[in-house]
Amino acid sequence: MAYVDHAFSISDEDIMIESSYIVHNRPPIKEIALAISLLVFGTLGIIFGIYMAVNRVGGDTAHGIFFAALGSILFIPGFYYTRIAYYAYKGYKGFSFSNIPPV
């Protein structure tokens, strides 16, 4: 006879007692707005940083490289969460608005 651990088993009574729950899959407006703003400011930072580095705005190329690096730091999470929000909106399998962390 095999040992059965009843502490973690699910019986028919557990399934019947459990109440139904409603899943709200509404888009989180603040989080998506933050993601889009990070994406926009990151893109602008990269573009202006490259422009500043090429034309030596501020005296040397270091200012432009720093600005482009700051823009890339903003761009990466902005692109990632905007992509998740877009795919969740379009209904792609495996993507949900719950994957976006709350602010």
C-alpha span between 97 and 89 (Å, rounded): 8
How many helical (H) and strand (E) elements, i.e. helices and strands, does the chain have? Answer: 3, 0
Average confidence (pLDDT) over 65-91: 96
Given a cut of 70, whether residue 100 has pLDDT beyond it is yes
Lowest-confidence range among 15-29, 42-56, 64-78?
15-29
Answer yes or no: is pLDDT of 23 > 90. Answer: no
How far is 88 from 21, CA to CA, in rounded Å?
21
Measured between alpha carbons, how far is 60 from 63 in angstroms, rounded to an integer?
7
What average pLDDT does the segment 71-83 reach? 97
pLDDT tens digits for 6-20? Answer: 666 566 565 555 555
Q: What is the pLDDT of residues 80-93, one digit of tens each?
A: 999 999 999 999 99
